[in-house]
Amino acid sequence: MSITKDQARALLKAHKLRITGPRLAVLRVLADADTPLSHSDVLARLGDTDWNPATIYRNLIKLRDAGVAPVASRIQGIDRYALAREDDDDHRHPHFVCDDCGCVRSLPDARMTTTAIQGPWAEALRQARVQLHGACPDCLDAASSSAG
């Protein structure tokens, strides 16, 4: 879901965040992504800029803390951020990690519901993340192509 510069400005303003060049850029990178991004991923997508990597990291943290870009995945100890969407229900879907190429993909069609759970585990399960591991479709295709 791509967003315009004006939409990004409005989103930052709605969350009472200062509108800065790096923050707008990070927000737009996250909006264009179809999968959660790590700090390194964001840097790579930004390309050559005058912004220090620490500046980009601080902006990711500000966006996270404001609820604009929560940590959607923490695979292998690396935080990956995704733009919060109104229909996302706190990003409650599993993520797939390819053991071969290392890609991380959201599986939004495999939505998980924990809202009906009551009792002492309810809050813990609402904050839990499910991560599936295996070979992604691209790696499976490559393996079957090289075997045949």
3 state DSSP class of 124: helix
Range in 13-22, 25-34, 41-50, 92-101 the model is least confident about: 92-101
What are the residues facing 98 on neighbouring strands?
134
Task: Specify the pLDDT at position 53.
Answer: 96
Residue 146 has phi, psi (to 5 degrees) of: -75, -25
Q: What is the DSSP letter of 27?
A: H
Q: Is the pLDDT of residue 117 over 90?
A: no
Q: Is the pLDDT of residue 91 over 60?
A: no
Mean of pLDDT values over 78-88: 77
Could you identify the residue written with the tokens 């737009």?
Answer: 28
Q: What is the DSSP letter of 64?
A: H
Q: Is the pLDDT of residue 87 over 80?
A: no
Task: Specify the pLDDT at position 111.
Answer: 56
Give the separation between CA 111 and CA 93, rounded to whole angstroms: 4
Q: Are 80 and 74 in contact (CB under 8 A)?
A: yes
Residues 6+ apart with CB under 8 A from 42: 26, 29, 30, 56, 60, 81
Hey, how many other C-beta atoms are within 10 angstroms of the C-beta on 35?
A: 15
What average pLDDT is seen over the chain? 83
Q: What is the DSSP letter of 108?
A: G
Q: Is the pLDDT of residue 19 over 90?
A: yes
Q: Are 42 and 26 in contact (CB under 8 A)?
A: yes
